[in-house]
Structure 1
Amino acid sequence: MKIYRYSKYFLLPWLLASAFAYAQVIFSTTTGDGTCSSGTTMVTSDVAYSYKSEACKAIGSAASARIAGGGSMSNAASGCKVTLKDSATQPVTLCDKVAFTLATGDNYCPAGMRLATIQEAAVFNTEACSALSSNQWYIARLANKGSIGGKGYNCAVHADDTNPLGNSLCIAK
């Protein structure tokens, strides 16, 4: 069983080389350096790379925006460049929102939704794991026999889990 932990050094090359269904991500900015509004999360460098065009559009007329880990992303006029470490104060913070839903049943999602992919659960690990927060020991089904464990399992994403599961992690189509 392969376990994928969120790591820009291990996971990003694999994700960018893989075709996967893109999650519906809502990007926004908040004024100031380093804070996002309630219900949103600071964009990681992996998300900034994977959704470069969409993330860059959200920066708008600001010169650049803070991203997680002390990095930044420049606006479209400056080429949407992602910098992993940037000590300069940023005028805005780039935030995202991904809505994962926990459904009861193995390989089941309500109408208008689909199983989240292994890659989506890995890239948006914080948000995916939060969907399982009602019970830290939940394990939820992902597409293609994948699974994700709750906080009790360190939010680990598994690529090949053939065990029957009681829940599925879903995302809008």
Structure 2
Amino acid sequence: MALYELILEQFFTEKPNLKSICLKLADQVHEACAKTAVVISTNPGAVTMANDELLHTLTNEDVIQQLKWEAQKSTNAMFKSLMKYIHRVESILYFVEASRNSDLVLHLQAGEALSKLFFALDRIKYKRLWPRYIADMHELKTSHPQTWRELQDGNISVTKSVIPFVSIGADHACEQLNRRIQ
């Protein structure tokens, strides 16, 4: 988080017009999440609507051009190595997000990014088995379309609550059940 804050501080110093836009959108998402935590039944789509507005703004062509800031700064070796590290951490965070949101597509995309990390960090078991797992998951589209649809519908994670971003991976859920039994 400290590295993200340093990079954001530098980014917003160089792009002050984006700071107000991003802060406004972040406040909207924060308010929607706070309301959802208090009374989820009144407006369960508030978080989704706030998130959609955030994504719509961030995919605006003018904003995208300004977000290419990283490519412009990549001539600095220290900046480049820092960003490589941050992108590695992002791969892990995307995988966690995929589990928490029961998002199959993000799970597979993040899994592919993690596969590169396993090779780079010489994680022997993971680098041997993980590419097979990703390939088998993609193969489900044709070999077991019903299973693929179930996973796409959010059954890739265990959801115990209607609150967004609290689903857990199946292995984690099994560990929780095992602990109850003991």
Q: Same fold (TM over 0.5)?
A: no
**Which structure has more helix as a fraction of its residues?**
2
Q: Which protein shows a greater Rg?
A: 2
> TM-score, normalising length from structure 2?
0.28
**Which structure has more strand as a fraction of its residues?**
1
Q: RCO (CA 8 Å, sep 6+): is it higher in 1 or 2?
A: 1
